[in-house]
Chains A and B, each alone.
Chain A
């Protein structure tokens, strides 16, 4: 079976980007919107076709999904080490193609309504296309370096899109922060790649991931500070993934990234780019699992669990709805990491891996839906803050219903999509590590609580005094909502375990009824609490918040992570490193050079006095010279 046509999937958005980017001024906004949407429609069609071909027609040999690779050399490092560009088709990349295509297409359609009248309309679509291209490239990458290349490209697209409203200082700052924080994490990724390639001699995923291959079997051959060098490489690579996926402690950029236009938040910071870290770990899953008996994988699990818990707590306290959703995203990403971390490799043991990918898939749908719904609300009331919203269900029925569906999905209420994927994650966690399981269940409850807190806050409660009467968004915005709502309802029924497993052979997954019941129960408790607190405006929530005292304050200040970073960046790096270096350069290094120059001038000034122009001085010098010479000569002659 030949999948080489999939190369078109990234190339179409790239063409659209170049077209819109270069002829930015010459294309009418309306036209550029259509170019963007239809370009992506073409890509999406090919993606769906690929998925159909792959999963249902031809890719299964002896019950195992085959991997298809097509690549060409892009640059040579040494005789053996080279960067290839190509496409790799296997279950997770095809699954990701579906996710990216679907969400990106919906966001493109949605943006036509949301961005209407914006002066950078064409630019916006150009950036969206650039992002989509980079994301496709990342998903289809055949080797570590290719994934790194596109990893950086999605980073820069994210930078450009967060800073889209570039006249707003907060947006500029947020964009910069996002880029630099992820860049810092990417430093780990890059060093990880370097270590990995040095000890294994390859960048190729296929070679690396082969359980019988030398990369995995020889992990113990080198060690550094008590761990295998390969484990270090994996940990560093995971740091890169943690940066992109906003895991603790690299999460600080994600909430600020909400400064970008809402469709961007939905696409990049909820559904696709932020899952790149999950995807990266999943991509290297055999390595993570086999090397050093999964030492690195344990780290993944704990980082995921702690991030999930941490973000869920903060999400409760935020008042900006997009920030709530951002922390919610972070929490769910932690869930996915956690699932990967507790997964096994073969057969039914791979349930965590499968669940992680499943959750990635369903989460992309309902989180994009939540964001787009929030965008629709923001579009109507021109504010991001909960305090400016209330009672919107009367004005925006479609948004209300779709938002509710998404909220139920994320809260894990059957039969919505989130229920199924979350259940699998909890099953995997339960089988592997009880502590992580308890954290997972607790987070599930918190999730239900905070999401319904904003749901009730936005759509129920009292009407606020709106300047303009809020009205339902246009069809271009509601269509994506409806579509994604549909996906959030039916997405859970996809038999994921047959398609996406670590050993690519598929297994039969069953619901674990007791665990499912517990999860649903916790979710319901969360919803009920939210209903009690926020359905009608009352002081109960405040009383409760006060009861937690300083803890509530910490949480609403995001546990001061931003302040710590700011302190390190501003006070330490800028004031204590950069400024002294600049001073040192000016005074010491340049001073030395200058000093040499000045000393020369000084000496020259001193010597200059000898050339006084006084004949008497010259005569003195002359005669002294004669005398000295005479003495010397006499001395020589007499000896």
Chain B
């Protein structure tokens, strides 16, 4: 609970963070940037979890726990994604989305 700052302001912040992440995910051409955008989305949700826990149900801890889970999963996911990207880079010397299009077939 932070004095002077209501839940709405924080939720607005996380929403902005979330949509920045979505925007980045849709528009970025570089796989790394996409990954970073995904991280932004995840972080937005993590903050949401914590804030909602703290503001609405102060005597409970589930939200905080879940945020920890998400951070763990996100770390694993990032590791996986980065390893794929590195492998991809070794194959085609590029991490641009348009160069990976052939995989769709």
Contact = CB atoms under 8 A, between A and B. Distances in A.
Whether the complex brings A and B within 8 Å at their CB atoms is answered yes
Interface of A: 612-614, 616, 619-620, 623
Contacts of B9: none
Contacts of B27: 616
A628 to B, nearest CB: 15
How would you classify the secondary structure of chain A's contact residues: helix, strand, loop or mixed? helix
A627 to B, nearest CB: 10
A614 B22 CA distance: 15
Given A613-B105, A614-B97, 17 more contacts: A612-B104, A613-B101, A613-B103, A613-B104, A614-B101, A614-B104, A616-B25, A616-B26, A616-B28, A616-B34, A616-B97, A619-B22, A619-B25, A619-B26, A620-B26, A623-B22, A623-B26
Contacts of A612: 104
Contacts of B34: 616
Contacts of A614: 97, 101, 104
A181 B52 CA distance: 100
Interface of B: 22, 25-28, 34, 97, 101, 103-105
20 contacts: A612-B104, A613-B101, A613-B103, A613-B104, A613-B105, A614-B97, A614-B101, A614-B104, A616-B25, A616-B26, A616-B27, A616-B28, A616-B34, A616-B97, A619-B22, A619-B25, A619-B26, A620-B26, A623-B22, A623-B26
A612 B26 CA distance: 14
A620 B34 CA distance: 13
Nearest to A626: B22
Contacts of A616: 25-28, 34, 97
B43 to A, nearest CB: 18
Contacts of A620: 26
B59 to A, nearest CB: 31
Contacts of B97: 614, 616
4 closest A-B pairs by CB = A613-B104, A620-B26, A616-B26, A619-B26
Contacts of B22: 619, 623
Nearest to A612: B104
A613 B102 CA distance: 9
Contacts of B105: 613
Question: Which of A612, A616, A620, A623 is the most central at the interface, judged by chain B CB atoms within 10 Å of its CB?
Answer: A616
A614 B27 CA distance: 11
Nearest to A624: B26
A111 to B, nearest CB: 79
A536 to B, nearest CB: 99
Contacts of A619: 22, 25-26
Contacts of B104: 612-614
A620 B37 CA distance: 14
Question: Which of B22, B97, B103 is the most central at the interface, judged by chain A CB atoms within 10 Å of its CB?
Answer: B22
A574 B30 CA distance: 68
A269 to B, nearest CB: 76
A616 B24 CA distance: 10
A329 B26 CA distance: 96
A616 B104 CA distance: 13
A385 to B, nearest CB: 80
A613 B25 CA distance: 15
A517 B46 CA distance: 135
Contacts of B25: 616, 619
A425 B101 CA distance: 100
A136 to B, nearest CB: 79
A616 B35 CA distance: 12
A616 to B, nearest CB: 5
Contacts of B101: 613-614
A614 B97 CA distance: 8
Contacts of B103: 613
A613 B98 CA distance: 11
A616 B98 CA distance: 11
